Amino acid sequence: MTVQDSLSAPDLPCPIFQISQTVRRYLLYDINTVTWLRRTHNILGVFIGSLPQSPQQNVFLGLPLELQPEEATLLVEKGLAFIVDDFQSHKKAIRSPPLGMANYRATARKEALATAKAVVKHKQLKTQEVLQRLKVRQATPGADKTVDKDEHDETIFDTPQETSSEPMSSSVIPYSSTPTTSYPPIPTPSEQSSLPLPEVSAASYALFKHLHASGYFMSPGLRFGCQFSVYPGDPLRFHSHFLAMGHDWDEEIDILDLIGGGRLGTGVKKGWLIGGAVKNSDNNEKHDATSEDGQFEAGRKPEDFHVRTFCIEWGGM
């Protein structure tokens, strides 16, 4: 990690919000945390936030960032994050607002009233100016013939064409961009309220952890019918090289799946990659310490297990 990265690192460990108890999804809301994890720990996730004005647009999405269960598990194992219940933490924060919340609301209300008064005053001045101009025209014979067309069409409901040379008040100037956080922000949940690790498949997590330790970036591979799309660098700079699927070491794989995956990967100029944790033939135990229910036991380092990968390419196309 460089000095620049360490200076911009967020407060660790950071909270990962679990938003459902049935269909578990893991979200990050802080843009600084999202960019830092992407830059220093190869964590991509998927942006799922849309604008209220365009709820059905799906091209340029924003915060929050949804993490894959494997990504959330890896961050917790490394001590970079902890998982909290989004509903309970938000409910608790709303019931006990920060000390500066009352002052902030009073200041916001005061600024809103000042802005409204300034708008009303400006409209009144504009109305008086137009009425005075009409009186002058009525008092001057033949003035209507020389009136410019633009002036003739002007009414008391027109917007001003020229801006005042006097600087506007700071309470009237709108924001140039929408901030990514509210002020004052909701207090960060404590690590004591951490939830258990996500339930991830032993086969997929072993492969994910192996590829991540090798420096690859991984995004969801549903678009290509696989578990992970594997990139040699940031997807903003590189195309994916592999379509990855995790399997148990002694799992039987349908030959049609291998052929279909190989043909699909070759058709999109990628390799179909399969891999899994090697089973030790001496004591019939897996090096990745898989639990009895097929879930991966957390806390194991990459060197504690051995993963082998195989790349399949179709030569008949």
Catalytic positions, written as ranges: 231, 239, 270
Do residues 23 and 172 lie in contact, with contact meaning Cβ atoms separated by under 8 Å?
Answer: no
Give the CA angle between residues 282, 287, 292 to the nearest 5°.
100
Contact 256, 183 (CB under 8 A): no
Burial of 68 (0-12, 13-18, 19+ CB in 10 A): buried
Let me know: does 39 contact 1? Beta carbons within 8 Å. Answer: no
Both tokens assigned to 288: 């990745």
Taking phi first (over 0 means left), then psi (-120 to 50 degrees means alpha), and beta for anything else, what does residue 120 get?
A: alpha
- 188 within 8 A of 15, measured Cβ to Cβ: yes
- Burial (CB < 10 A; 0-12, 13-18, 19+), residue 211, is buried
Using alpha carbons, select from 213, 218, 203 the residue that is nearest to residue 274: 203
